[in-house]
Structure 1
Amino acid sequence: MSAALTRYRVVAYVVGVVLIALVVVGMPLKYIGNDPVVVETIGPAHGFLYMVYLVATFDLGRRARWPLGRMVLVMLAGTIPFVSFFAERAVTRQVRDPQPVAG
């Protein structure tokens, strides 16, 4: 599961950085500066990278035996700026130190 976690962590950071660049730089340039070149360049890259993020999250979630709801929430974290970084830390902590289930 270590390799799946590493893949997830790398992709989560890359998706997070690209999304921030798209939202913080690209969107203002497009709508305020009337220059869509950054959005036209970074937008498709983010779309492709987000698909890779979904696959990496699914792979890790399947190996860690997450419930479907948790997997979907982690997948959605790649769509909100800065949230993928928080989700990555929480996922890493949980995967490295799983708490025993009471009962």
Structure 2
Amino acid sequence: MNSLKLFRFTSISEGISLLLLFGIAMPLKYIFEKPLLVEIVGMAHGILFIAYVLFTCVFKFKENWKIKDFLIIIFSSLVPFGTFYVDKKYLAKIKA
């Protein structure tokens, strides 16, 4: 698997993990007092978030992204559905 495919996979996985964390795990923790899912999904999300940020830093130099684009890509990981936008707008257009 080349680095672009791995970055795209990480991007989508990070977005899904954020949605699972906020949409399912957190409500289960606070409404039904079931914290186990937050521990599992939270750990996976943390690892994917770090990988996403590292990939973004590597590709900033590899693709010579402008600072504005780089910041949009980095901060999109903090917004639900943000990484899906990044995948479609930025990553899908990169030539492998």
- Check whether TM > 0.5: yes
Larger radius of gyration between Structure 1 and Structure 2: 1
- How many residues in Structure 1 have an aligned counterpart in Structure 2? 94
In structure 1, the partner of 2:56 is 57
Identity %: 27
8 Å Cα contact 1:11/1:49 also seen in 2: yes
Structure 2's unaligned 5+ residue stretches are none
Task: Give the 4+ runs in structure 1 shifted more than 2 A.
Answer: 92-96
In structure 2, what is the Cα distance between the partners aligned to 1:18 and 1:76? 16
Provide the residue aligned with 1:72 in structure 2.
Answer: 71
Which residue in 2 is equivalent to 1:32?
31
Taking structure 1 as the reference length, the TM-score comes to 0.81
Structure 2 counterpart of 1:76, which letter?
F
Ranges in structure 1 where 5+ consecutive residues have no aligned partner: 97-103
- The one-letter code of the counterpart of 1:13 is I
1:32-71 per-position Cα deviation (integer Å, ceiling 9, x unaligned):
1111111111112211111100111111121110122321
